[in-house]
Amino acid sequence: MPIVFKRNRAVFQGGAGVEEAEGLLEWLQKRPTAKADLSACNHLHTANLQVLMTAKTGISSWPEDIELRAWLEPALKAGE
């Protein structure tokens, strides 16, 4: 599973495809305070990215992939 949903934390692993976005959105709609753990994430599809940006999801840990982090940090922090 590219995204594992813990109690209040969505843990991303590897690459999250477009098909994950719907589930992520529904899950976040129910848990507005949920955080995302991106440490093991190496890519997320644009659809997932825009869900995270819209939901202004807090990030509990940033990707270890420095290049991805450089992309995500400004985009997701801007929403906070």
Partner 1 sequence: MNPLLVQFLSESRDFSQDIGQKLLQMEDAPSDQGLINELFRLVHTLKGNSGLFTFPEMTRVLHAGEDLLGMVRDGRIAYSRELADRLLNAIDFVMELCADIESTERIDASRAKDAARMTESLRGLMPAVECEAPASARINAAAATAEEMPTLAELPGATREELLRHCRAGEALNWISYAPVHDCFFQGDDPFFCARQTPGLLWGGARPSEALPSLAELDTYRCVLEFHLVTSASREELDEHFRYVTEQVRIVAVNPQWLELTESNHADPHCIAGRSVIANAPAQTAPSSGAGEAWRERTAAINAIFAAQQQILMLDDHPDWRAGRIRAVGAVLVNLARSAGDQVAASEIQAALTECLSTGRNSLLLLWLETSKAHLIASLSGASAPLSTNPAATRSNGSEEAPPASEVGPAQSTPGDGIKFGRRAEDSSAGPRNLKVDQAKIDRLMNLIGELVVSKNALPYLAQRAETQFGVRELSREIKGEYSVINRIADEMQDAIMQVRMMTVSSIFQRFPRLVRDISRKLGKEVQLVLEDEQTEADKNIIESLADPLIHIVRNSLDHGLETPEIRRARGKPETGTLTIRAAQQADRVVIEIIDDGKGIDPAVIKQKAYEKGLIDESTLERIDDREAINLIFAAGLSTAAVISDLSGRGVGMDVVRSAVEKINGTVVIHSELGMGTTIRISLPLSMAVTQVMIVESDGQLFGIPMDNVVETVRVPKRELRKIKQSLAAVLRGRIVPLKSLNTMLGISATPLANSDDELAVLLVQAGGEILGLLVDGFRETIGLIQKPLSGFLSGLSAYSGSALMGDGSVLMILNIREIV
Could you list the residues that contact partner 1 (CB under 8 A)? 18, 21-22, 25, 28-29, 32, 43-47, 49-51, 53-55, 67-68, 70-71, 74-75, 78
CB of 5 to partner 1, least distance (A): 16
Query: Which stretches does DSSP call E strand in the chain?
Result: 3-5, 9-16, 35-44, 58-61
d(CA 73, CA 8): 21
CB of 44 to partner 1, least distance (A): 7
Nearer to partner 1, 11 or 52 (CB): 52
Residue with tokens 């906070």: 80
